[in-house]
Amino acid sequence: MSIRIKGTGSALPLKTVTNNELSRFVDTTDEWIIERTGIESRHIATGETVDMLAGEAAWKALLDAGVDADKIDLIIVATCSAEQALPCIACQVQKHIGAVNAVAFDINAACAGFLFAMNTADAYISGGIYNNALIIGAEVLSNIVNWSDRTTCILFGDGAGAVYFEKDDRPLKFIQKSNGFKDDVLFCWQRDSVSVFYRGVQTYKYVTMDGREVFRFATRVVSETINELLSNEGLTADDIDLFILHQANLRIIESISKRLGVDMSKFPTNVERLGNTSSASIPLLVDEVRKEGRLKEGMRIVLSGFGAGLTYSACLMEL
């Protein structure tokens, strides 16, 4: 048993911020950002919250699937930038869309979060516990970015993507990995303590990153993990029709395409327009390519995400 895509949806904040706009308050240029990252603009929240974006994307996925909200069994939201600690965003989505019968909870595996959530849903559904799941990646990373740090603030964007899955019997394989020993490569100790007993000093409240190390890690582990996933199934990269990767940076995706020996035409991208939207980037891209008619019956696709933790994952899906 496995799961199958039945509907997709996206939500983006209204405001678009160009590289030139960023260069008004940090020392950077449009040329530098495009050359090093491929990013030209991103959507940034000016009032939209993680639960609002997640709810809108969820609604659109259900409309697309033609399914009533009260039929949903499971809602999982992957996020690492929620404004609120409690309740979880998935419960807020449940309320927004009226999914009265759903079980709802969040997952944080940073930029690999959507695939970790999808794998969790697959386990529940394959185990016979639920029949369907609404999986959402939603971020307002602008909440946790240091807007005076040019090495990070230029990278990120806000948004949400949702995919509605139903039980199916087509092949679906995952590899998931975590390496908590590399927690110093990319981190954010977001919250101020309100404890009267707390004696520590609050530091690193914003996303802090060793960019070069992330670049090295991402290019190596993603290509290795995809190759491992494919060789487990007796396949090679040539057998895959599309690679939908976490949209961290165009250069990372280009480097992975080279390492796999696969032409960039099989790697759709939206990082140019949306920046790095962490756990939202994969479902946003799935929604885009699906609406463009690029996901066709019988195709084999690979999804892969990687991020803070470190966490990384790859998924092989037959459509």
Instruction: Indicate which residues carry an active-site annotation.
Output: 111, 246, 276
Rg (the chain; Cα; Å): 19
d(CA 11, CA 162): 9
Tell me which of 248, 271, 284, 286 binds ligand ACO, using CB under 6 A: 248
Tell me which of 90, 306, 314, 315 binds ligand ACO, using CB under 6 A: 306
Give the nearer residue to ligand ACO in terms of CB position, either 7 or 157: 157
Tell me which of 46, 84, 151, 179 binds ligand ACO, using CB under 6 A: 151
Q: How far are the Cα atoms of 66, 121, 164, 267 from residue 131, in angstroms, in the given order?
A: 16, 10, 11, 31
Tell me which of 86, 212, 263, 265 binds ligand ACO, using CB under 6 A: 212
Q: How far are the Cα atoms of 33, 166, 274, 279 from residue 37, in angstroms, in the given order?
A: 6, 36, 12, 18
For the chain, report the end-to-end CA distance as a whole number of angstroms.
14
CB 137 within 8 A of CB 278: yes
HSE-CB at 69 with a 13 A cutoff on CA atoms is 14
DSSP, collapsed to helix, strand or coil, labels residue 255 as helix
DSSP, collapsed to helix, strand or coil, labels residue 46 as coil
Is 225 a binding residue for ligand ACO by CB under 6 A? The answer is no
Is 111 a binding residue for ligand ACO by CB under 6 A? The answer is yes
Tell me which of 150, 173, 182, 259 binds ligand ACO, using CB under 6 A: 150
Q: What is the DSSP-derived secondary structure letter of residue 228?
A: H
Site string for ligand ACO, 30-69 (x = CB under 6 A): --xx--xx--------------------------------
The number of helices, as runs of H, and strands, as runs of E, in the chain is 9, 13
Is 303 a binding residue for ligand ACO by CB under 6 A? The answer is no
Is 307 a binding residue for ligand ACO by CB under 6 A? The answer is yes
Q: What is the DSSP-derived secondary structure letter of residue 300?
A: E
Is 214 a binding residue for ligand ACO by CB under 6 A? The answer is yes
Tell me which of 167, 168, 176, 211 binds ligand ACO, using CB under 6 A: 211
d(CA 187, CA 207): 6
The span of 85-93, 126-134, 193-201, 214-222 binding ligand ACO (CB under 6 A) equals: 214-222
Place of tokens 């050359």: 35
CA 272 to chain centre: 15
Q: How far is the CB of 249 from ligand ACO (least distance, A)?
A: 4
The span of 131-139, 148-156, 175-183, 229-237 binding ligand ACO (CB under 6 A) equals: 148-156
Is 187 a binding residue for ligand ACO by CB under 6 A? The answer is no
Give the nearer residue to ligand ACO in terms of CB position, either 58 or 222: 222
Q: How far is the CB of 17 from ligand ACO (least distance, A)?
A: 14
d(CA 59, CA 97): 6
The residues binding ligand ACO (CB under 6 A) are 28, 32-33, 36-37, 111, 150-151, 154-155, 186, 209, 211-212, 214-215, 218, 248-249, 251-252, 276, 306-307
